[in-house]
Structure 1
């Protein structure tokens, strides 16, 4: 009977040691995963906040520049994509398209001095700038959380625990290459006689 106690004791010891090593790492990965999810929700909240400002901004600009329908359509489509984004990659892509559309809209607005002097437009533009700043901070916070999470899923012994329990790397919220391009706006319409 004593022959069986030694292997059972060794096996119990291995299980206890494994639990002591695995449990804290597992809990760390769970906490980091939740932090990433929370930061992703923060980006989503800020994108939605900006999305809610856009109809008022478009309406204000449209009142002065009604013939710029292509830009208004582009903004509406980008807004729809932001609202329908479900993953970080989709949010990032939709955000890039929205930034491009808003850049074009604001560039068009610069051609209308009366619009630039409008209190409603300047107030909305300032709110939009604030929203963009909050989005940038939310993206930075998310990427910091992803970096910490990914480091823990890729370093030893976290990588073994991550593999065992299915913790996969998370994607960073990155700007698209086209986000660095300056949008072109043509103020010379075919309707002008000059």
Structure 2
């Protein structure tokens, strides 16, 4: 009889462990999705500033028509990003368009500093730069959450529970290839 109680106790403990691990995996997944939504929300806040910037860029139109197409491409990339589905390739496209647009606009403002709208334009560019800082922070948080989630489904006994019950897949963290390339360093394992 005592053996039966020990067996039932072990079984109950095992079930509680499995439920706790499963719930931890689900919680970390939800944290990844929420942090991804934060990144996309910051990206979409650019769409509040971009129409105003676009209006001012139109005044530079005779000087810098390429800039308008870059702003349009950025707005399109932001609109296509999904806050419900984690797709780092979308974010990569947005960040590439943002860098291209910021570079073009700085050149336009510096080339024509005496234009009447230069101060307004610089103010809008400052606002977008601040948004970029917020996005960088949100990406850092997203990557940290992805790391915690991936570790949580890859380590034992979580990997066992995940493969049997939860069946979650790893998320890909966001990497900015332009930043990596500018460092001239890549992380490699020793052989």
1:52-90 deviation digits (Å, cap 9, x = unpaired): 211211221331343422221122022201211222322
Q: What is the 5 A alignment of 1:52-63?
A: 52-63=48-59
Task: Pick the structure with greater CA Rg.
Answer: 1
Q: Is the 8 A contact 2:25 2:149 kept in 1?
A: yes
Alpha-carbon distance in 1 for matches of 2:123, 2:169: 43
Quote the residue 2:176 is aligned against.
175
Quote the residue 1:64 is aligned against.
60
Unmatched runs of 5 consecutive residues or more in structure 1 = 182-194
Q: Is the 8 A contact 1:93 1:176 kept in 2?
A: no
Quote the residue 2:123 is aligned against.
123
Quote the residue 1:21 is aligned against.
17
Quote the residue 1:188 is aligned against.
none
- Call closer, same or farther: CA 1:117–1:52 in 2, change over 3 Å: closer
- Call closer, same or farther: CA 1:129–1:65 in 2, change over 3 Å: same
- Call closer, same or farther: CA 1:118–1:153 in 2, change over 3 Å: same
Aligned residues: 177
Unmatched runs of 5 consecutive residues or more in structure 2 = 183-191
CA RMSD in angstroms comes to 2.6
